[in-house]
């Protein structure tokens, strides 16, 4: 009841705040406007005529008669009225707009929702809770009954959170409904110990539990003079241990250095015109420096942190692909750049009315795909990281030799990948490290596809030592937004010292995370190549990366008479 009263009060306040300026007028607004328009232009005309006559007769302008004084008062009054009526209304419209700062969740709008919208959401939830089932409200039924209703389709699974008003209970009921529908148990999937409220409306829909992924820590990784303990979430044995050995080799050799080459997220809408000529006209318009300032203003107004850097165009017949690139602060920035692009496309639609917008994303971005455009132009953070490993460290820690690593990298990473027709795949296993860190820190694991594009270079240094470097043009990371706000992922970001947004230097936290990813990849490449050169790979994986377990016996709903239930499954 208190919540409903608060909502009603907010609605009243909202309505009052939207009162029109015309509400205070004693006469109809249309009539009042006409009167003041006539007074304004009439007094203006009278004063102009009087001043022209004074100039012609050499009469001082400040010598005023009663009629001139009255005319000036009328002019001032009508000007104030017209400015107030039209100007204030214009300003109110500007202020009243809801500027959605998207991945600017750097402003904490992600965690502090607008009060009016909260009330409307609560109203919808209240309606759902009042729905009847078995003669009483749905929430008053037993979980088993509700799960049965979901299973037979009489109650929508997606509405459980709003209907029950309890996110954890909704997940539990949905989980039971899935078991009833499939006849399979979800006993091994954890339910307790997770804040389901934190993912409501974001991260994951229709939850039934969460997956446990072990998190290991490598380090210290000595990078640019600072030490980092890097979390990695993985189920692959040897990965954390191997990468940790690479960190040890780098540390004992004086550390690694990483450089940020570029920072810009991309989005590429595709549009179509009736003719190729019209398509080319838009291309030339976008590439004209005179128009860039206007497009930048339109793009940048959607966020405090979005800054348009450039637009790259490509034609395919009547289709035009426009690759927008912009900085996004500490957010990974996909939503931020998409909103800026939408603003520009809407503007272009007015200038080119025959433009047909096919999609806000035309795959020339390119997101979650290994592409040449990302490999060449970069996307997200472009980073290069290097280290010089001492000969004695190669021998004692990595158990191999500098010539062996030189030969292996040339034949495997460079020539072998070229034979395979790889795009940015000139490395041993960059994807392993990138994905493990992404999962641990709340990044989008699917963006591992382009983020793992990497070329590993190994050369001789100082006549005996080893120079190793990794160049990664597409590391797509953020320290706010997405899954970074979840407790476990936020803890991992905090371990690295890059949690949240950097208020002093926006973007520096996500850039630091990108450098750390590149440094960890360098360590992983160094260790795996050494294991391959020394012939240790198979031996280590047989020891640490095999599991034999009776999987079928852990499922109580599996029919014990089914053939193969007692089989032991081994995987590596």
Q: Which residues are catalytic?
A: 236, 368, 444, 541
The dihedral region occupied by 501, where left means phi > 0, alpha psi between -120 and 50, and beta the remainder, is beta
Q: Scanning the structure block, which residue is given the tokens 């005529």? A: 49
β-strand partners of 257:
386
User: CA 254 to CA 224: how far, in whole Å?
Assistant: 10
Q: Scanning the structure block, which residue is given the tokens 């272009």? A: 348
Calculate the CA 395 to chain-centre distance: 43
In contact, 339 and 100? CB cutoff 8 Å: yes
In contact, 25 and 34? CB cutoff 8 Å: no
Q: Would you state the structure tokens that stand for residue 11, as one six-digit string?
A: 């609605």
- Please list, in sequence order, all residues whose beta carbon lies within 8 angstroms of the beta carbon of residue 171, skipping any fewer than 6 positions away: 191, 196, 207, 208, 209
- The CA-atom distances, in angstroms, between 358 and each of 158, 268, 274, 286, 433 are 30, 11, 13, 18, 37
In contact, 177 and 151? CB cutoff 8 Å: yes
- The CA-atom distances, in angstroms, between 119 and each of 115, 201, 379 are 6, 16, 40
Q: Would you state the structure tokens that stand for residue 520, as one six-digit string?
A: 């960890």
Pairing of β 270-272 and β 257-267: unpaired
The dihedral region occupied by 500, where left means phi > 0, alpha psi between -120 and 50, and beta the remainder, is left
Q: Scanning the structure block, which residue is given the tokens 């400015």? A: 83
């Amino acid at each position: 009841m208190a919540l409903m009263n608060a909502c009603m009060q907010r609605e009243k306040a909202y309505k009052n705040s939207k009162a029109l300026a015309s509400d205070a007028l004693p006469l109809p607004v249309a009539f009042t406007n006409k009167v003041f328009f006539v007074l304004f232009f009439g007094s203006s005309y009278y004063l102009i005529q009087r001043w022209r006559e004074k100039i012609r007769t050499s009469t001082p302008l400040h010598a005023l008669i009663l009629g001139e004084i009255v005319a000036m008062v009328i002019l001032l009054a009508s000007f104030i009225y017209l400015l107030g009526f039209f100007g204030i209304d214009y300003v109110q419209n500007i202020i009243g707009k809801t500027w959605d700062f998207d991945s600017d969740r750097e402003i904490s709008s992600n965690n502090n929702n607008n009060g009016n919208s909260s009330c409307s959401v609560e109203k919808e939830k209240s309606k759902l809770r009042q729905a009847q089932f078995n003669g009483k409200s749905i929430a008053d039924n037993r979980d088993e009954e509700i799960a049965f209703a979901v299973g037979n389709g009489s109650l929508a699974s997606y509405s459980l959170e709003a209907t029950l008003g309890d996110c954890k209970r909704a997940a539990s009921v949905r989980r039971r409904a899935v078991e009833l529908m499939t006849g399979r148990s979800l006993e091994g999937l954890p339910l307790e110990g997770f804040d389901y409220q934190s993912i409501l409306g974001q991260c994951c829909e229709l939850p039934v539990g969460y997956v446990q992924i072990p998190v290991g820590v490598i380090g210290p990784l000595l990078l640019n003079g600072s030490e980092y303990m890097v979390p990695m979430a993985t189920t692959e044995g040897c990965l954390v241990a191997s990468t940790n050995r690479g960190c040890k080799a780098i540390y004992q050799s004086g550390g690694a250095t990483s450089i940020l080459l570029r920072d810009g997220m991309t989005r590429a809408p595709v549009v179509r015109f009736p003719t190729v000529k019209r398509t080319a006209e838009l291309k030339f318009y976008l590439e004209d420096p005179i128009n860039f300032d206007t497009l930048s203003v339109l793009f940048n107004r959607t966020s405090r942190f979005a800054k348009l850097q450039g637009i790259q165009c490509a034609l395919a017949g009547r289709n035009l692909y426009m690759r927008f690139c912009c900085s996004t602060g500490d957010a990974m920035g996909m939503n931020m750049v998409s909103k800026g692009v939408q603003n520009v496309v809407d503007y272009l639609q007015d200038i080119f009315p025959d433009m047909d917008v096919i999609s806000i994303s035309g795959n020339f971005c390119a997101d979650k795909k290994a592409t040449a455009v990302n490999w060449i132009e970069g996307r997200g953070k472009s980073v290069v990281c290097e280290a010089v490993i001492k000969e004695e460290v190669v021998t004692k820690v990595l158990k191999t030799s500098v010539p062996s690593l030189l030969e292996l990298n040339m034949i495997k990473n460079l020539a072998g990948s070229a034979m395979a027709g790889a795009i940015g795949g000139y490395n041993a296993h960059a994807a392993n490290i990138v994905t493990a860190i992404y999962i641990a820190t709340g990044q989008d694991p699917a963006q591992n596809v382009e983020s793992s594009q990497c070329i590993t270079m190994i050369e001789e240094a100082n006549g005996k030592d080893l120079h190793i470097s990794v160049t990664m043009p597409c590391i797509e990371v953020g320290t706010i937004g997405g899954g970074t706000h979840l407790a476990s992922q936020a803890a991992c970001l905090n371990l690295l010292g890059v949690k949240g947004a950097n208020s002093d230097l926006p973007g520096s936290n996500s850039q630091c995370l990108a450098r750390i990813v590149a440094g960890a990849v360098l360590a992983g490449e160094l260790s795996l190549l050494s294991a391959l050169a020394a012939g240790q790979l198979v031996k280590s994986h047989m020891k640490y990366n095999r599991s034999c377990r009776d999987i079928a016996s852990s499922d109580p709903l599996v029919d014990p008479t089914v053939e193969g239930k007692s089989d032991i499954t081994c995987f590596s």
